[in-house]
Structure 1
Amino acid sequence: MPRIKKSSRNMTSIEPFQDNRTIGLFHTICKIIYLTCATNFWFEDMDYPAKCMKIYNATSRVVEVIVAVLIISDCGAFWTQPNLTEKQSNDRILLAFANGVSCLAYANVFYYKREIRELVMTLAVRLKKVCNDGTIEIMMLRTTFRYLSALFLVCSSAVFSYGMGSGIQALTTNATFTTVIPSWPDVEDRRVIAGAARIVHYIVWWIFMVRVTSVYSLILTCTIGIAHQFKNLCKYFEDLENIFKGSGSQEEKERKYENAFKVGIKMHSINLWCTRQTQLTGGLVFSGQIIVNVCVLGLLMIQMMYTERNLIAMMPIIFMALAILVGTGVFLWVAGDVTIEASLLPAAMFHSGWHNCTRQSSLRVRKLVTIAIAQAQKPVLIKGLGFIELSYESYVTIVKSSYSLFSVIY
């Protein structure tokens, strides 16, 4: 088991135990986040040279300001860019809205940095100390890799497609290289300095999307970790019956079972706390994805009505739609997994072997099991916008609502 000790800067340090791969997963993700936005969500100091970290932290703050200027510039374009085509006007609304919502969710995660550190510590260390089934952990690692790969792929493809589409149009027609539409320069400004500014805007947009996606990946990984921890807990309760198959007197087995069941109840309580913390720290991320899904998909369908039916023109729309659908999907699917895995816990408690207890021990254990099952039967839900239960069914409903919105407008 890991021994927890204090590190510098009042942060917690651990000596990881050998079979815990979850620590490596979260540590890697936190290192990636630090490299993208110079913020440490890990509960230890990052193992980079102090001088390099100091320089990088200062540089990152400057980049943060530049990114904020880009977001403000997107909004300012509604007043400074009146002469736009139908597609450019739609792009201005779509990207300004999507970037604005993503920026708010990004800032919200940073606001709860301390809570996220504690959440990561709990998922990677505290819960794993008691029960860490190797097979379930490998399933979690594979699920995380699959979902994060999909998230990074579709998000980068969307930004790349906008750049490639605008670049091809700039080379083959008389159009300017325009991706994100800022307050300045004007879309018809053909000066060298204006062209350089557009390229800078595109690079800053890339930086912004990389930062947002990396932070989103931590919330997504925490949610996946909670779902698999409920699966771990089910396995823990199911294995308690093996206590009565071992050696020792009946009294010793009953005492051991009762103590182990109480440990399981505590683990369940910690799991519920992790779910509440994920709702608190990632609630705006979940809500933002729902809002962006409904509004941006509606705008993309409107944009398709005014776009030429050729590969170059349709590519940004297709990749943006895929990014929204997959981005929303992975969050809602893993949140739904939490609900599904938690719903299996009462049955696992019931089949934990309580019927093997006798006399006074049986009376105490039955009361304990009854209360634990009653608590576990309460649905464990992660919600978006405060009232939408995130699940596979709600994902289908949200996607359909985008088309419904489009049908009402047109």
Structure 2
Amino acid sequence: MKTYQLLKSHCSKIFFSGTGNYWYEGNAIGNDKSLFYRLYAIILISTYAFMTVLEIMAALIGDFPNDEKSDSVTFAVSHTIVMIKIFSVILNKNLIKSLNKSIATVCETYENPMLMAEKYRIIKINILAYVLVVYGAVAGFVFEGLRKLFSGSHFVTIVTYYPSYEDNSSLATSFRVFTTIVLSVMMVTMIVSVDSFTMMYLIIFKYKVITLRHYFDGLREEFDRNNKSDAKGASEKLSKGLIEGIIMHSELLRILKDIDTAFGTVMAMQLCQSSGSAVSLLLQIALSKDLTFIVGMKIILFVVALFFLLALFLCNAGEITYQASLLSDAIFYCGWHACPSQKPPQRKLGSIVLIACVQAQRPVVMKAFRMIDLTYATFLSVVRMTYSVFALFYAQNK
């Protein structure tokens, strides 16, 4: 599937999730300025925000047992970060619209159908796996709520300031069920509008870089074929193709800066969420002496969901760094050194290649908070740090 079709299809899903129209072609997807849509979006986001405020109040001033108090802190932190991520994407809507147009058109002429099919398959696998992990974690909290209900307590998934722990009235029960439904819908908005959108952009950009590398490889193959029969024509064609490739490379570097601006907050906040919340959750396992199997699975599924998303972000960002590092060799070996002609355009070809290689050799590394590299190494460091804290407290508790 072409990048244009892929992005347009996803933007239509985002539109129905209530965060607006991110497509650059007018109202081709829908009118997010209509009164009905604005009302729908305000109700949806306000409901998420209201629930998050109640979670924060429960964590700060609520009177709950230890297990529900821990859950309230976990959800208050996690959902506050989710709201920040949602608002960061909404605030960058105009930038994302222009990004959609830029990334859909750059290198479009040279996209290989097999490579595009591979890209589409990778995106589908990543998103499907993430959806399963997220709703697996949600199911863990729902099962724990049902276990409490059948053991004589009350059903609860999201711990909010209202209702209080002692309140088992019909209204309180209805509100707890309502917050569970809101959680499920909120996860849809988070997955569609924020996390999968960010992930999709990283994967698309990676394949744009691969397409550009194949383009430079193709220049060399075409030059070798044409050079046997028409050396002058082959040299001129190589010169034009090389300049076009360098322009595409510069455009990709510009697009990457815009991606960092549009989605940098999402990845930075996910880094905080995965490291901070995971430590908090694992400490519950390390310090609790009467942890049931379902509670343990609930915590583990949540931790897996947090780290799985972080892995998708950091590993795809790290893959961009790796693929970009291969461009300098592809540019250098494009065949410029074999051009026989010594006319002015060809005499300058070596200088053009040198400048392009220097530009391609600069590390393309996305950063969180403009300080922390979003790479494989960072992901491994976060996992090691989280496990070290867990192992330390677990050993002391034993």
Flag whether TM exceeds 0.5 (same fold).
yes
Distance 1:301 1:97 in 2: 15
Match for residue 7 of structure 1? Answer: none
Aligned partner letter, 2:198? I
State the distance in 1 between where 2:189 and 2:259 align. 19
What is the aligned counterpart of 2:132 among 130, 133, 153?
153
Secondary structure class of the residue paired with 1:246: helix
State how 1:253-272 maps to structure 2 within 5 Å: 253-272=234-253
Aligned counterpart in structure 2 of residue 118 of structure 1, from 95, 98, 104:
98
State the Cα distance separating 1:246 from its structure 2 match.
Answer: 2.7
Show the counterpart of 2:74: 94
Query: Match for 2:163: what amino acid?
Result: P
Counterpart of 2:152 (choices 174, 191, 195) is 174
Partner Cα separation in structure 2 for residue 153 and residue 123 of structure 1:
28
* Residue aligning to 1:324: 306
CA distance in 1, matches of 2:140, 2:17: 22
Any idea what the Cα deviations from partners look like across 1:239-291, whole Å, max 9, x if unmatched?
Answer: 10213413863322222211111110011011111211111111111111111
- 1:313 counterpart = 2:295: yes
Tell me the distance in 2 between the aligned counterparts of 1:120 and 1:345.
23
Normalising by structure 1, what TM-score? 0.89
Would the aligned equivalents of 1:81 and 1:183 in 2 still touch at CA under 8 Å?
yes
- Matches of 2:374 and 2:19, distance apart in 1: 31
Q: 2:192 aligns with which of 214, 229, 246?
A: 214
Partner of 1:64: 45
Aligned mates of 2:31, 2:320 — CA distance in 1: 39
Distance 1:126 1:233, change over 3 A: closer
Between 264-273 and 238-247, report the one with greater CA deviation.
238-247
Contact 1:308/1:314, CA 8 A, preserved across alignment:
no
Instruction: Tell me the percent identity.
Output: 23
Q: Is the 8 A contact 2:133 2:304 kept in 1?
A: yes
Question: Does the CA contact (< 8 Å) of 2:331 and 2:353 recur in 1?
Answer: yes
Question: Normalised by the size of structure 2, how large is the TM-score?
Answer: 0.92
Q: 1:287 aligns with which of 263, 268, 271?
A: 268
Q: In structure 1, what is the Cα distance between the partners aligned to 2:375 and 2:255? A: 18
1:98 & 1:125 partners in 2: Cα distance? 36
Which of 312, 333, 338 matches 1:356? Answer: 338
Name the amino acid aligned to 1:339.
T
Q: Distance in 1 between matches of 2:44 and 2:301?
A: 27
Question: Are the counterparts in 1 of residues 216 and 334 from structure 2 also a CA contact under 8 Å?
Answer: yes
- Could you tell me which of 57, 77, 92 is aligned with 2:58? 77
Q: How many residues align?
A: 388
1:237 to 211, 216, 219: 216
Assess if the C-alpha contact under 8 Å between 1:162 and 1:179 holds in 2. Answer: yes
Instruction: Give 1:104's aligned residue.
Output: 84
Match of residue 378 from structure 1: 362
Q: Matched residues in 2 for 1:52 and 1:189: separation?
A: 42
- String of CA shifts for 1:110-132, please: whole Å, max 9, x gaps: 11111111112122223313x21
Tell me, in whole angstroms, the C-alpha distance in 2 between the residues paired with 1:102 and 1:280. Answer: 18
Find the aligned partners of 1:109 and 1:331 in 2 and give their Cα distance: 16
**In structure 2, C-alpha distance between the alignment counterparts of 1:28 and 1:209, rounded to whole Å:** 19
- After the TM superposition, which of the residue ranges 360-369 and 259-268 deviates more from structure 2? 360-369
Contact 1:336 1:391 in 2 (8 A): yes
Counterpart CA distance in 1 for 2:9 and 2:70 is 38
Q: Runs of 5+ in structure 1 lacking a partner?
A: 1-19
Change (3 A) 1:154 1:263: same
* Partner of residue 227 from structure 1, selected from 206, 213, 218: 206
> 2:213 & 2:32 partners in 1: Cα distance?
47
Question: Which residue identity lines up with residue 203 of structure 1 in the other structure?
Answer: I
CA contact (8 A) 2:19 2:90 kept: no
Cα drift, residue 78 of structure 1: 3.0
- Structure 2 residue runs of 5 or longer lacking an equivalent are none
Mapped contact 1:219–1:282 kept (Cα < 8 A)? yes
Backbone CA RMSD of aligned residues = 2.1
**In structure 2, distance between residues paired with 1:51 and 1:306:** 48
- Per the TM alignment, residue 198 of structure 1 is displaced from its structure 2 partner at its CA by 0.9
The aligned amino acid for 2:278 is L
301-310 or 206-215, larger mean C-alpha shift:
301-310
The AA in structure 2 aligned to 1:321 is V
**Which whole-Å CA distance do the structure 2 matches of 1:107 and 1:51 have between them?**
16
Instruction: Say if 2:187 is the partner of 1:187.
Output: no
* TM-aligned CA deviation for residue 330 of structure 1: 0.4
Aligned residue identity for 1:113: K
> Could you tell me whether the CA contact under 8 Å between 1:307 and 1:314 is conserved in 2?
no
CA contact (8 A) 1:80 1:184 kept: no
**Alignment partner, residue 114 of structure 2:** 135
Partner of 1:15: none
Tell me by how many angstroms 1:57 deviates. 3.7
Counterpart amino acid of residue 339 in structure 2: C
